[in-house]
């Protein structure tokens, strides 16, 4: 009975709040958080993906999510619109092997994942689902705001808290402003980096780090869920690099490059899952996979083989004047995958342009390379190891 938690914050923004990189969206952040727990081992039997900013509302998020996490494409994925209470509820009711990934891709961006091992370490203490829609976003994309902090505090938070009739104040409540969190928590709570769907998992990470068990809440508008969390045996892996100011970029005028869905389909598995074609006759690796092996000449004898997602820069250049429709400047690199002789051209991400040199070591991370004809085109980019320095200075 425990959870393995993984967290991710984009390296852009300030210590007050993170913003998405130009090549990130809710899906790439979900993969970053999910990889923290999936790469560490642990059996995943089902995935729940919770966000209010799902990249595609009609078809198409589940396959890249599974492929990039290198999970079987036979797993059930639940895509769910939701905020903080939805995530706490999902972990509460999860069976062993359920991976809950929650993402905030708006203001205060971040993502977090929780893999449940055995029965859930959360037990429901109370739930109030009430309607006080101060902020709304409709299916047609229109949004409305009628922010009245006093109404939210009195008719939202106070009323929902009273309805729950808890035996004691929670240790932490996710989804609240710092002021409200201070009033309704049993002791001065640490600031959580997000306020939405991912915030309850960041709260659980705080409790796991300090080995504390107790009540934890999750609030969105007037809806509140509170559960008792047993922190024993749970673990946290964080990727929370120091925040830096996003670099200015300029889009070159001109029409977008059109998507070829046939080419997209052909490249999908090797690109999103980061696989090479491996010749079954001589073992030669090639990216992208080749029909004709350049090692032994065999035709159409290959299978997909996963490549290491770490490597070093073989050569690099920074582009200041891009082709039409792309933003510049950006840095490209030919990256040699660790332990192989496979070299691949990719974007350098997570650092301002021109910051890497030959020999720089880093991770290969899923990023949105482009949006073509409305389709997010995902592939791998190079993130230098220096980015992985955690906020607060720990390695
Ligand atoms: Zn061969």
Q: What is the DSSP string of 253-305?
A: SSPPPPP-HHHHHHHHHHHHTTEEEEETTT--EESS--SB-TTT--BS-EEEE
pLDDT at 148 over 50: yes
Q: Is 163 helix (H, G, I), strand (E, B) or coil?
A: helix
Each residue's pLDDT tens digit, 175-186: 998 889 999 999
Q: What are the structure tokens assigned to 198, written together? A: 């991912």
pLDDT at 119 over 80: yes
249 compared with 334, residue with greater pLDDT: 334
pLDDT score at 391? 63
Cβ within 8 Å of residue 299, ≥6 positions away: 291, 292, 293
The Cβ-side half-sphere exposure at 108, using a 13 Å CA radius, reads 14
pLDDT at 389 over 70: no
Place of tokens 């696989």: 275
**How far apart are alpha carbons 219 and 369 in whole angstroms?**
34
Q: What is the distance in A from the centroid of ligand 1 to the CA of 198?
A: 46
Each residue's pLDDT tens digit, 232-291: 999 999 999 999 998 889 988 887 778 899 999 999 999 999 999 999 999 999 988 889
Q: What is the distance in A from the centroid of ligand 1 to the CA of 261?
A: 29
Contact 84/175 with Cβ under 8 angstroms? yes
Q: What share of the chain is helix, strand, coil (3-state, %, to 5)?
A: 20, 35, 45
Torsion of CA 171, 174, 178, 182, to 10 degrees: -20
Mean model confidence pLDDT for the chain: 93
Domains, the chain = 2-239 (3.40.47.10), 250-274+309-388 (2.40.50), 279-306 (no CATH)
Q: What is the distance in A from the centroid of ligand 1 to the CA of 281?
A: 5
Q: What is the distance in A from the centroid of ligand 1 to the CA of 292?
A: 8
pLDDT at 395 over 70: no
Q: What is the distance in A from the centroid of ligand 1 to the CA of 279?
A: 5
Q: What is the distance in A from the centroid of ligand 1 to the CA of 297?
A: 6
Q: What is the distance in A from the centroid of ligand 1 to the CA of 75?
A: 33
Q: What is the distance in A from the centroid of ligand 1 to the CA of 300?
A: 10
Q: What is the distance in A from the centroid of ligand 1 to the CA of 393?
A: 47
Contact 201/5 with Cβ under 8 angstroms? yes
Cβ within 8 Å of residue 262, ≥6 positions away: none
pLDDT score at 97? 97
Percent of the chain's residues with pLDDT above 70: 98
Q: Is 23 helix (H, G, I), strand (E, B) or coil?
A: coil
Q: What is the distance in A from the centroid of ligand 1 to the CA of 274?
A: 20
Q: What is the distance in A from the centroid of ligand 1 to the CA of 316?
A: 29
pLDDT score at 372? 86
**How far apart are alpha carbons 116 and 133 in whole angstroms?**
32
Q: What is the distance in A from the centroid of ligand 1 to the CA of 65?
A: 31
**How far apart are alpha carbons 16 and 1 in whole angstroms?**
34
Task: Tell me the mean pLDDT in the region 85-108.
Answer: 97
pLDDT at 92 over 90: yes
Task: Report cis status (omega within 30 of 0) of the bond before 329.
Answer: yes
Q: What is the distance in A from the centroid of ligand 1 to the CA of 339?
A: 19
Q: What is the distance in A from the centroid of ligand 1 to the CA of 160?
A: 66
145 compared with 309, residue with greater pLDDT: 309
Task: Tell me the mean pLDDT in the region 321-335.
Answer: 90
Each residue's pLDDT tens digit, 40-58: 988 999 999 999 999 998 8
Helix 199-209, helix 84-92: angle, nearest 10: 60
Confidence label for 373 from pLDDT (cuts 50, 70 and 90): confident
User: What is the C-alpha R_g of the chain?
Assistant: 22
Q: What is the distance in A from the centroid of ligand 1 to the CA of 298?
A: 5
**How far apart are alpha carbons 45 and 234 in whole angstroms?**
19
Q: What is the distance in A from the centroid of ligand 1 to the CA of 283?
A: 6
Q: What is the distance in A from the centroid of ligand 1 to the CA of 304?
A: 13
Each residue's pLDDT tens digit, 10-43: 999 987 899 999 999 999 999 999 999 999 988 9
Q: What is the distance in A from the centroid of ligand 1 to the CA of 288?
A: 14
Distances (CA, A) of 238 to 63, 241, 246, 348, 366: 25, 9, 21, 22, 17
Phi-psi region of 175 (alpha: psi -120 to 50; beta: other; left: phi over 0): left
Q: What are phi and psi of 196, to 5 degrees?
A: -105, -140
pLDDT at 139 over 80: yes
pLDDT score at 394? 37
Contact 172/189 with Cβ under 8 angstroms? yes
pLDDT at 382 over 90: yes
Q: What is the distance in A from the centroid of ligand 1 to the CA of 305?
A: 14
pLDDT score at 393? 40
Q: What is the distance in A from the centroid of ligand 1 to the CA of 359?
A: 29
């Amino acid at each position: 009975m425990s959870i393995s938690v993984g967290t991710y914050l984009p390296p852009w923004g300030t210590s007050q709040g993170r913003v998405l990189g130009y090549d990130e969206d809710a899906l790439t952040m979900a993969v970053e958080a999910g990889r923290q727990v999936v790469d560490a081992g642990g059996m995943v039997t089902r995935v729940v993906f919770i966000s209010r900013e799902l990249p595609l509302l009609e078809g198409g998020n589940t396959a890249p999510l599974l492929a990039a996490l290198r999970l079987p494409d036979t797993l059930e994925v639940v895509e769910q619109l939701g905020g903080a209470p939805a995530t706490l509820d999902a972990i509460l009711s999860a069976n062993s092997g359920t991976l809950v990934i929650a993402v905030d891709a708006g203001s205060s961006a971040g993502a977090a994942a929780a893999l449940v091992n055995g029965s859930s370490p959360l037990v429901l203490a109370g739930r109030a689902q009430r309607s006080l829609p101060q902020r709304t976003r409709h299916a047609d994309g229109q949004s409305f705001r009628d922010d009245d902090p006093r109404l939210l505090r009195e008719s939202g938070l106070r009323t929902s808290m009273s309805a729950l009739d808890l035996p004691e104040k929670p240790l932490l409540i996710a989804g609240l402003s710092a002021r409200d969190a201070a009033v309704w928590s049993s002791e001065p709570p640490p600031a959580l980096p997000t306020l939405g769907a991912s915030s309850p998992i960041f709260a659980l990470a705080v409790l796991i780090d300090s080995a504390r068990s107790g009540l934890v809440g999750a609030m969105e508008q007037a809806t509140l869920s509170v559960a008792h969390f047993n922190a024993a045996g749970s673990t946290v892996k964080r990727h929370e690099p120091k925040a830096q100011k996003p670099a200015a970029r300029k889009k070159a005028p001109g029409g977008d490059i059109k998507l070829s869905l046939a080419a997209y389909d052909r490249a999908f598995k090797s690109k999103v899952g980061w696989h090479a074609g491996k010749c079954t006759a001589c073992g030669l690796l090639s990216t992208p996979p080749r029909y004709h092996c350049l090692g032994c000449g065999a035709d159409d004898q290959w299978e997909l083989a996963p490549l290491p997602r770490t490597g070093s820069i073989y050569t690099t250049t920074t582009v200041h004047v891009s082709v039409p429709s792309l933003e510049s400047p950006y840095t490209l690199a030919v990256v040699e995958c660790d332990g192989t002789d496979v070299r691949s051209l990719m974007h350098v991400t997570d650092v301002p342009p021109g910051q890497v040199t030959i020999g720089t070591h880093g991770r290969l991370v899923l990023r949105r390379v482009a949006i073509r004809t409305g389709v997010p085109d995902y592939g791998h980019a190079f993130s230098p190891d220096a980015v992985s320095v955690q906020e607060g200075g720990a390695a």
